[in-house]
Structure 1
């Protein structure tokens, strides 16, 4: 019987697959914690995460047809209709006839919607979980995250 001896090149080092797996699990744990804080803060604004994301995707300076919002959210148009209904009931968005094509209705962010959208942007940018990192560490983390997220755009 052949005996295999594994030696580590440095204390605590693992094989690439083990290291990558541990990293993915930690990223998932961090993402879940970020999502939890965001969901709580979004609920404090009186929104659901889906409605907040829809509002965040709308450009307050450029009215948008609902079908374009569906494309941006990568969801079915019927789901967007329900989201827009909620935004409209809350006074954050209005449906208006497109002056360039009267057959189309566009989504227009109201003044109240602009204010809430700015607060949603703050919630989605909350970095409290990264508070322990210095500027150099944050820059390195951003560089690494960009590197792995950009390879998905293939």
Structure 2
């Protein structure tokens, strides 16, 4: 599993770097909906990180011309994050990179099904009871 994760991260990291992004910047951009401005605190919640980290990520995305901060018309104290036109194109490419399944292309349908079932089992996705230490 670690080898698969390492291979995926490496491929994604190379592709993100070609877009001028770090993996963290790519994930932040991916979480933003171009049609729905989002407060930075909501992005921090989605990413599961501290707002100060999100501020740094948004600064970098803004410097790259991918995101803009706008004043929220309903609360002028709050800034919302808006994906720019250029950011939409880069975000689409990030989504493609995150969806790339070339690592799985050599597997048969049966192998893919088995892999899916094993990953679910490992991640506790098919248990109806909460996981309790024994």
Which TM-score band (shorter chain)? 0.7 to 0.9
1:73 aligns with: 47
Alignment: residue pair count: 127
Counterpart-to-counterpart distance in 1, 2:28 and 2:46: 9
Counterpart-to-counterpart distance in 2, 1:90 and 1:118: 16
Shift of 1:28: 1.0
Q: Does 1:49 align with 2:23?
A: yes
Q: More relative contact order in 1 or in 2 (CA 8 Å, sep 6+)?
A: 2
Question: Which of 32-41 and 142-151 deviates more?
Answer: 142-151
1:132 aligns with: 106
Q: Does 1:61 align with 2:32?
A: no
Structure 2, unaligned runs of 5 or more: none
SS of equivalent residue, structure 2 residue 107: coil
* TM-score, normalization by structure 2: 0.87
Counterpart-to-counterpart distance in 2, 1:50 and 1:63: 19
Q: Out of 55, 65, 79, which is 1:105 matched to?
A: 79
Q: Does 1:86 align with 2:26?
A: no
Counterpart-to-counterpart distance in 1, 2:80 and 2:46: 15
| Bigger Rg, which one | 1
Shift of 1:98: 1.0
Q: Out of 69, 74, 80, which is 1:95 matched to?
A: 69
Counterpart-to-counterpart distance in 2, 1:107 and 1:143: 38
